[in-house]
Amino acid sequence: MINYRIERDSLGEMHVPEEALYGAQTARAIDNFPISGIPLPRPMLRALGLIKKHAARTNQNLGLLSAETAEAISRAAEEVVEGKLDDQFPVDIFQTGSGTSSNMNTNEVIANRAARLLGQPLGSKSIHPNDHVNLGQSSNDVFPSAMYIASSEQLQHNLLPALEQLLQQLAAKSEEFKDVLKIGRTHLQDATPIKLGQVFSGYARQVELAHERLSINSSGLYELPLGGTAVGTGINTHPDFAAGTIAAIANETALPFREASNHFEAQGAKDALIATSGSLKGCAISLFKITNDIRFLASGPRCGIGELILPAVQPGSSIMPGKINPVMAESLMQVCAQVIGNDATVALCGLSGNFELNVMMPVMGYNILQSIELLSHGIKAFGEKCLEGLQADEKRCADLLEQSLALVTALVPEIGYDRATDLAKQAHKTGKTLRELALEDGVDAERLDKLLDPASMTEPKS
């Protein structure tokens, strides 16, 4: 049997589990939003804790909170930052669009925990969730600030380093494969020769550019809406509150957070988050291309392309013995698909910046953070379990190159486009090699050796 205590909010009484740190508004949100069972992600709880911790200290410095109250709030908020109170945050992601339920969940938890630190009973409101913990704040500026802090930290500490590592792994493969000649492909058909190292250098550059775009386009997250309170005017907050609180957050996180230059833009729109999500989608598209290419180049091993040899990380079939599947590539491709879908959700939510507030923020924050987390883990797993053990089948590359009719392209300057086309058709029809037909056509043998040298076709002529 669960024992309950009675707490009150502006709508009346609510039964709250006796030992719960949250209060009436959280209990009401639990009743109102039994939607997904998905609570706020840990990075958001950490960010909310950071805001409340440094808000209390700033308010003490401004003479608005006593030292005892501010210290108790700060200590309780630090426990939120450290993840010690995560079980006290049950509010569903699919809640009020401003994140008010989660902001009040945070306020109530910190207020009750701070009261207990001071020897006061739960629900006493000796430290008040609104008057003390939320002093100088509104859900409308706290929740988006928490989204931006959480996203920035996850990008800087997880995804961007994962991309840097992937770039190094691809660059290493480019160097390893620098002398492996293979056939190029355009429109899924044979094209002129290319080096496998050149292919991987293209992949490395894709990742480098994805990192660069993500870094640039996420920089808007450093502008925090904190200080705008309800509609951007800063009502009920000290004029120095935002600058002091944000500076302290920037110092603790070692990230360049600053107060929004225009609070009406910062609260009415979420364009910085939209830009970040768009770059996450672009990153996912690049990764999908790379992983899909590797998957196809490793197809076979005997009846496909087979130019790459995948490391065997698990049996590929429950019915076909010896089968090895490109499971790491498939895993990352599914991650990419989810991230692309998440961006569609974020974009639709971004349309709901009605007048002075966006009213779909919780799901925006959830999707952004999920995209960052999935990409971070997916990239790391793919790099470690696929790329590092990836090998080139040099014999297969050479055999396919020799069979290709696309080598005829090198004969065009010598015999003309039309005659080269005829030779390609004859080779395909008769099964003869291009070399044999070119010799019959009167091309000098020594000259032909130079023209049909695959390596010379992979570099621009001087």
User: Can you give the pLDDT at residue 316?
Assistant: 82
Decide if pLDDT at 66 tops 60: yes
Look at 7-21, 72-86, 178-192, 440-454 and tell me which has the smallest mean pLDDT.
440-454
Average pLDDT over residues 142-146: 98
Angle, to 10 degrees, between the axis of helix 160-176 and the axis of helix 361-382?
30
Residue type, 88: Q
Residues 443 and 414: beta-carbon distance below 8 Å: yes
Residues 52 and 131: beta-carbon distance below 8 Å: no
Which of the pair, 188 or 319, is modelled with greater confidence?
Answer: 188
Confidence of residue 390 (pLDDT cuts 50, 70, 90): very high
Helix (H) or strand (E) holding 258: strand 258-259
Decide if pLDDT at 217 tops 70: yes
Confidence of residue 433 (pLDDT cuts 50, 70, 90): confident
pLDDT tens per residue across span 90-139: 999 999 999 999 999 999 999 999 999 999 999 999 999 999 999 999 99
User: Can you give the pLDDT at residue 435?
Assistant: 86
Contacting residues for 231 by C-beta, under 8 A, at least 6 apart: 140, 264, 267, 356, 357
Q: Which of the following is catalytic: 36, 124, 317, 456?
A: 317
Average pLDDT over residues 380-385: 98
Residues 389 and 176: beta-carbon distance below 8 Å: no
Average pLDDT over residues 421-434: 90
| Residue 28 structure tokens | 């009401």
DSSP string of 240-278, one letter each residue:
THHHHHHHHHHHHHTS--EE-S-HHHHHH--HHHHHHHH
CA distances to 23, 146, 153, 374 from 158, in Å: 34, 18, 8, 10
CA distances to 180, 270, 277 from 349, in Å: 48, 9, 12
Confidence of residue 267 (pLDDT cuts 50, 70, 90): very high
Q: What is the rounded CA–CA span in Å between residue 206 and residue 450?
A: 33
Q: What is the rounded CA–CA span in Å between residue 302 and residue 322?
A: 13
User: Can you give the pLDDT at residue 36?
Assistant: 98
Q: What is the rounded CA–CA span in Å between residue 286 and residue 289?
A: 5
Residue type, 179: D
Average pLDDT over residues 284-288: 98
Confidence of residue 402 (pLDDT cuts 50, 70, 90): confident
User: Can you give the pLDDT at residue 1?
Assistant: 77
Q: What is the CATH number of domain 154-223+266-394?
A: 1.20.200.10
**Alpha-carbon torsion, ordered 161, 206, 179, 456, to 10 deg:** -160
Confidence of residue 318 (pLDDT cuts 50, 70, 90): confident
User: Can you give the pLDDT at residue 462?
Assistant: 56
Average pLDDT over residues 321-325: 88
Residues 150 and 366: beta-carbon distance below 8 Å: no
Confidence of residue 406 (pLDDT cuts 50, 70, 90): confident
Q: DSSP code of 131?
A: I
Contacting residues for 288 by C-beta, under 8 A, at least 6 apart: 332, 333, 336, 337
Confidence of residue 426 (pLDDT cuts 50, 70, 90): very high
Q: What is the rounded CA–CA span in Å between residue 102 and residue 49?
A: 12
CA distances to 163, 210, 287, 312, 326 from 367, in Å: 19, 19, 19, 33, 27
Fold of the CATH domain 404-458 = Ribonucleotide Reductase Protein R1; domain 1 (1.10.40)
Q: Tally Cβ neighbours within 10 Å of residue 349.
A: 24
Q: State which CATH number among 1.10.275.10, 1.10.357.140, 3.50.50.60, 3.40.50.2000 fits the domain covering 16-135.
A: 1.10.275.10
Q: What is the rounded CA–CA span in Å between residue 13 and residue 421?
A: 86
Residues shown for the chain: 462
Q: Which of the following is catalytic: 10, 187, 318, 462?
A: 187
The yes-or-no answer on residue 187 being catalytic is yes
Average pLDDT over residues 399-426: 91
Residues 363 and 101: beta-carbon distance below 8 Å: no
Please report, for the chain, the start and end positions of each structural domain, with discontinuous segments joined by +.
16-135, 154-223+266-394, 404-458
Residues 153 and 49: beta-carbon distance below 8 Å: no
Average pLDDT over residues 207-233: 98
Phi then psi for 9, rounded to 5 degrees? Answer: -130, -170
Q: What is the rounded CA–CA span in Å between residue 184 and residue 404?
A: 10
The percent of residues in the chain predicted with pLDDT above 90, rounded, is 88
Residue type, 237: T
